[in-house]
Structure 1
Amino acid sequence: MKVLFLLSTICFLGTVLTDSPPEDVGKGEKLVQSVLKGIELRDKKMIGDVFEDDFVYEGCKKQYNKEESTKLVGSFSLQMASIMEKGTQIVYVGPRKFMTLISSNSLKSVFVLSKNWKLLHGKTISC
């Protein structure tokens, strides 16, 4: 479930709420397109490019670094990405910071992006 959540968050940062600054929405959409294209092409380098080198995702029971996250996201199909898109809500909470809600708020995480608009850190805030 945590792996699915990580994928959904990365794939759908571009669907932030409309109260976010237009620049944030545009850059988020570009990030989303890079991930989706990487999944489609099975290009782990393209997927890995959305993560900062020191990226860490803190799950409930395990931490994932950039390499592990890239491998996990790269293993998903476009069909899975489409399914996750429909069940995930992305909430803009500040400059380069988003909270994700999945499955009727049963799983929440916060993600922070770097100034370069790459994923810097993620953390599950409810398990």
Structure 2
Amino acid sequence: MDVPQHELEEIRLLEQKLHLPEIRQSPTAVTELLAEGFVEFGSSGTIYDDRDELIAHLAAEKTEKPSPLVISRDYAFRPISPDAVLVTYRSTRQAGESGQERHTLRSSIWQRIDGRWQMIFHQGTLTAPKG
């Protein structure tokens, strides 16, 4: 069940793209990254199980000022099969006007579909800062 290291790096970069406002607001880019049937359990507790609705929601994310930068770290990759990988990591971002950091544990499943990696599942869970 080995997935080559260069493909794990590709998956990490694809994962990080989904944190960028310019990608999130591009229906074409998000459609490339999220597989048909994609499901997300958001850190807010919301379940997103309609990919097209989620893509439209992300495209509508217009902010008066740029969103705070998401910093991700502590990536771990666990191949599930030659064409599927579980990715886990932590992310931190400033939360709104309060300036408080928001810490989230994240997990995604990426699957190779028609020769390219697409996310089929994502979950974010709010957590305390790592000590």
Higher Rg: 2
Identity of counterpart residues, as a percentage?
Answer: 10
2:48 maps to which residue? 64
- For 2:12 and 2:105, the matched residues in 1 are separated by 19
- TM-score, normalised to structure 2's length? 0.57
Q: Which moved more, 1:117-126 or 1:64-73?
A: 64-73
Higher strand residue share: 2
Instruction: Give 1:25 deviation, angstroms.
Output: 0.9
Aligned match for 1:88, one of 65, 68, 72: 72
Contact 1:38 1:47 in 2 (8 A): no
Measured on the aligned residues, the alpha-carbon RMSD in Å equals 3.6
Deviating beyond 4 angstroms after TM superposition, the runs of 4 or more aligned structure 1 residues are 32-38
- For 1:33 and 1:109, the matched residues in 2 are separated by 12
The change in CA–CA distance for 1:32 and 1:122 in structure 2 (over 3 A counts) is closer
Instruction: Give 1:98 deviation, angstroms.
Output: 1.1
- TM-score, normalised to structure 1's length? 0.59
Listed as ranges, the gaps of 5+ residues in structure 1 are 1-19
- For 2:23 and 2:30, the matched residues in 1 are separated by 10
- For 1:123 and 1:97, the matched residues in 2 are separated by 11
The change in CA–CA distance for 1:126 and 1:93 in structure 2 (over 3 A counts) is farther
Superposed counterparts of 1:20-35, under 5 Å? 21-29=5-13, 31=14
- For 1:48 and 1:122, the matched residues in 2 are separated by 15
2:35 maps to which residue? 52
Higher helix residue share: 1
Listed as ranges, the gaps of 5+ residues in structure 2 are 80-84, 93-100
Structure with the larger RCO, 1 or 2 (CA within 8 Å, 6+ apart): 1
